[in-house]
Structure 1
Amino acid sequence: MSRFSSEQLRTFAAVVSEGTLEAAARRLHVTASAVSQRLKALEDSTGQVLLRRSNPVEATAAGEVVLRLARQMAQLEEDAGRELGLAAGAGGHHSLPIAVNADSLAVWFLRALTRMPAGLDVAYDLRRDDEQHSAGLLRSGDVMAAVTATPEAVQGCRVEALGTMRYRAVAAPDFLGRWLPDFGAGAPVDPLLLNAAPAVDFDRKDTYQDAFLDGLFRKSRSRAPRPARGPRHYVPASQDFFDAVRLGLGWALVPEVQCRPEFDAGRLVQLAPDRPFDVPLYWQRWRTSSPLLDTVSEVVRATAGDYLLGPEAATRPRRG
């Protein structure tokens, strides 16, 4: 006999998703007492505490394992229902949670979703997170797949390389006139001056500008330690981030495919044309067999090939 009943797993997933036992009870159309009893039975069967009774509740490390199982079982039920021609559920569609970084969303990932076959009745629940951190959403069971910079497979998942996102360090001409007035006279960018100039970061997880500067200081002949960095502007939206650089608020690393028209037209200037920054991206998904996940993975793989560089074109290791 299975250690976990589908009723217990469904209840556990609902509690974590809704945040409280009462909200989960309303979603499941049962009493809060029934929800509490199912959770107790589930914890008794595992012999471990699965939920922190905070507000909202949070899964413990053991609870994340059970949550991943619960959501995988729900996906298997949806896949079976789709093959049998049954209704997708109360909402009339299947929900597919995916973690993806902002740059991929802006450059290519949404295009992949538009290439999905018609008639799937799927709603995409996109969770934006930095590519260095999105694997955590897979571990917790919050998403079924993720675009990530982590080549090591998360437990219960399989991973494949998608390609390399190439970034260029760029700035607006007016910005260079104020902060690096001698740049462009044949000399390479001065790391000390660039370090003191304002930069644009996506958020406080964004280390790309610092990684680029570290590389410049290592390349320079100076053995002096890198000084304190200049001011940072935080602009946590991909298009707004790009606009901030174009308008001269600061310099930053921008995906090449996004900024190429701008520096071709002279509206942006490359700070180091010989030093692209390449970020390998990977697709991680649940190992569970799922026709829906198989289809999504195939489309994502094909679309990534249209926008990302292949491994043979990469010139630098993954940043971070």
Structure 2
Amino acid sequence: MLDYPSLAALAAVVREGGFERAAAVLGVTPSAVSQRVRGLEERLGAVLVMRGQPPVPTEAGAKLCAHAERVRLLEGELAAQLPGIAGRGERSESRVTLRIAVNADSLGSWFLPAAARFAERTGALLDLVLDDEEHTAGRLRSGEVLAAVTTDPAPVQGCRTVALGALRYAATASPDFVRRHFPRGVDAEAITRAPMLRFDRRDGLQARWAGEILGAAALDAPVHWVPSTQGFVDGALAGLGWGMNPLPLVADHLGSGRLVELVPERRLGVALHWQAARIGARLLDLLSGEVMAAARANLREGQAGAG
């Protein structure tokens, strides 16, 4: 049988990003958390977490963390229905928290209304973990989250995958920026000289657009690093640079002329999927329903690509 207090300590270390933070959440000392994790490792004969900043679970640790988070959700749902089952002196989890991984552009454009409807219907809370859409599935594999918006269509073990549709992006800039940097038009040569906006070092949408739409072999252009979805829009409006913005966020600006597309109607689609644990939890099923409804209303059906 698994030692669930020790398993909860391991999951908290991974979820909270450290032994001290895990201790604060669990209401024990960091030494107690360390002893529980070490004891679990000794009983199982395997290293479960790599001690670093932040701690990273091993493959075995990730499987145990995923199991612990699912048990935590099911117990939380049960405690909400039967408050008396919580031990005396323990904090009753009357409001369950679901930890979900989502990419910044989905969070900033279409995901939050679904989250709000879910929270209003159920009273549950959400702990949203922000990561690149190509890496959110890794959070699911590590056991850090129960579901994720991801570009990865390969099902994570123990999860179901649903295609959500494609989030469309437009290459946008202010009219003044286009006049200053593209006086002879937007082409593969000019795009390498104009300052662009990038979210972080993993953001390759600008290079992908330049390659697919303009035929640019490489995009070695000046970069402004703007790690914010709304900041991307504001940066384009201010004339800081050009960037790939989610169409739902810039449609009004394009309609008013505050922003223009570098090449009209030539956009990219990023295919998104919803991966959620198969555990029969009512709350997770309700959240999945809201996410899929929001995707149907906001995302383009079909495959990702230019167009």
TM-score normalised by length of structure 1 = 0.85
Amino acid at match of 1:265: S
1:237 aligns with 2:228: yes
Amino acid at match of 1:5: D
Amino acid at match of 1:75: L
Counterpart for residue 309 of structure 1: 300
- Asked if structure 1 preserves the Cα contact closer than 8 Å seen for 2:79 and 2:92, the reply is no
SS at 1:279's partner residue? strand
How far apart, in 1, do the equivalents of 2:27 and 2:210 lie?
56
Note the 1:1-320 alignment, pairs <5 A. Answer: 2=1, 4-18=2-16, 24-25=22-23, 27-29=25-27, 35-54=33-52, 57-84=55-82, 89-90=91-92, 92-116=94-118, 118=120, 120-183=122-185, 189-218=186-215, 226=217, 229-311=220-302, 314=303, 316=305
Q: How big is the shift at 1:55?
A: 5.5
Q: How big is the shift at 1:79?
A: 2.0
The one-character-per-residue Cα deviations of 1:5-35 (angstroms, maximum 9, x if unpaired) are 3222123223434555566456545566654
Bigger Rg over Cα? 1
Q: How many residues align?
A: 303
- List alignment gaps of at least 5 residues for structure 2: none
Would the alpha carbon gap of residues 129 and 123 (structure 1) be closer, same or farther in structure 2, given more than 3 Å must change? same
Across the aligned residues of Structure 1 and Structure 2, the Cα RMSD in angstroms comes to 2.6
- List alignment gaps of at least 5 residues for structure 1: 184-188, 219-224
SS at 1:116's partner residue? helix
SS at 2:67's partner residue? helix
Q: How big is the shift at 1:133?
A: 1.1
SS at 1:267's partner residue? coil
Would the alpha carbon gap of residues 169 and 24 (structure 1) be closer, same or farther in structure 2, given more than 3 Å must change? closer
Q: How big is the shift at 1:119?
A: 6.0
Would the alpha carbon gap of residues 41 and 232 (structure 1) be closer, same or farther in structure 2, given more than 3 Å must change? same
Amino acid at match of 1:96: L
SS at 1:132's partner residue? coil
Q: How big is the shift at 1:93?
A: 2.1
How far apart, in 2, do the equivalents of 1:31 and 1:177 lie?
61
Q: How big is the shift at 1:309?
A: 1.1
Counterpart for residue 222 of structure 1: none
TM-score normalised by length of structure 2 = 0.88
Amino acid at match of 1:252: G
Amino acid at match of 1:275: R
How far apart, in 2, do the equivalents of 1:48 and 1:96 lie?
28
Would the alpha carbon gap of residues 217 and 108 (structure 1) be closer, same or farther in structure 2, given more than 3 Å must change? closer
- Asked if structure 1 preserves the Cα contact closer than 8 Å seen for 2:160 and 2:278, the reply is yes
Would the alpha carbon gap of residues 110 and 38 (structure 1) be closer, same or farther in structure 2, given more than 3 Å must change? same
- Asked if structure 1 preserves the Cα contact closer than 8 Å seen for 2:83 and 2:92, the reply is no
**Higher deviation after alignment, 6-15 or 102-111:** 6-15
How far apart, in 1, do the equivalents of 2:219 and 2:19 lie?
49
How far apart, in 2, do the equivalents of 1:31 and 1:117 lie?
32
Amino acid at match of 2:195: P
How far apart, in 2, do the equivalents of 1:23 and 1:259 lie?
39
Amino acid at match of 1:14: A
**Percent identical across equivalent pairs?**
41
- Asked if structure 2 preserves the Cα contact closer than 8 Å seen for 1:99 and 1:146, the reply is yes
How far apart, in 2, do the equivalents of 1:290 and 1:199 lie?
44
The one-character-per-residue Cα deviations of 1:23-50 (angstroms, maximum 9, x if unpaired) are 6456545566654554344223422111
Would the alpha carbon gap of residues 178 and 135 (structure 1) be closer, same or farther in structure 2, given more than 3 Å must change? same
